[in-house]
Amino acid sequence: MNKIIFIAMFLLALAGQAQAQGPGRTAVIHLADGTQLKCVILSYSDSKFHIDVNGEERTVDIASVSKVAFGEAVGEHVRGPLDPPGAHDPAAAPAGLERTDVDRRGIEELSRSPAPRLVIWTLWSMTGGLQDADRAAKVEEEIQPRLKTARAEGKVREEKNLRLSLVILKMIQQQRASAKELLDALKKDYPDDPVLRNLTMEQLAKNIARWHGFEPDRFPRRPPRERPGLPREGPPPPPEPRS
């Protein structure tokens, strides 16, 4: 017990130092089970480290930590789950998605996106870089019936994605009061969601502003993965010659 208390006090002091020197500090967290997490430590509270691992926010309970190796303080902003991919991280750009693809798939892509960054990427493609209010209003109209169906069928991920989309669409249309009402209701319904828990209107506005300058052409398009046992897509074979 004394060892745990000592470790807790030691890590708390280091985390406080990291917060004082910048908004985040690179670190390697060694867990008791032998796992190592290379991350950026954002804060420490409630006996937990709040960290960023490759753009995804996570929490680590101090009871599971054996030691922490701190690195340097980083930037004015630690890239979060709603930010556009960074220039240093081309893998963060969704593979195989081009603007025309997303426009064609539309609401279906929003519904099944596994990560918030892909939700906002899809909206970026459908609303002129998150800046066309008229297109945002049309997308909102398309979302409403799909959201109603998702609620009735209990599809949690789809419901969260579409409700978050509505918040962003209201922001694009400069309807900030409506956006805040939708965001507050969404956070109330999903209090344990790591993205929604820390999301505020001010942070969302900053996220959207960062996406305004996003240039997907900077990222090389990755070739589609071939699935074992499935034929590779391509043009149909030529017809058999007539006998």
Per-residue pLDDT band for 96 (boundaries 50, 70, 90) equals very low
**CATH 2.30.30.100 placement within the chain:** 2-73
Q: Cβ contacts of residue 203 below 8 Å, gap of 6+?
A: 80
pLDDT at 2 over 80: no
pLDDT attached to residue 11: 54
Which of these, 28, 118, 42, lies nearest to 79 by C-alpha position? 42
- CATH topology for 90-218? 1.25.40
- How many Cα atoms are found within 13 Å in the side-chain-facing hemisphere of 101? 8
Handedness of CA 210, 213, 215, 219 (dihedral sign): negative
Paired tokens of 240:
């058999």
Helices (H), 22-80: none
pLDDT digits over 45-54, tens only? Answer: 777 888 888 7
What's the CA gap between 184 and 170, in Å, rounded? 13
Q: Are 48 and 60 in contact (CB under 8 A)?
A: yes
What is the chain's mean pLDDT, rounded?
77
pLDDT at 240 over 70: no
What's the CA gap between 102 and 23, in Å, rounded? 34
Name the amino acid, one letter, at 182: L
CATH number 3.10.180.10 is the correct assignment for the domain at 2-73: no
- Higher-scoring residue by pLDDT: 106, 104: 106
Q: C-alpha 97: how far from its chain's center?
A: 16
**CATH 1.25.40 placement within the chain:** 90-218
What's the CA gap between 56 and 115, in Å, rounded? 9
pTM: 0.59
Paired tokens of 11:
């890590």
What's the CA gap between 214 and 182, in Å, rounded? 26
Q: Are 41 and 69 in contact (CB under 8 A)?
A: no
Cβ neighbours, 10 Å, residue 24: 24
pLDDT digits over 169-196, tens only? Answer: 999 999 999 999 999 999 999 998 888 8
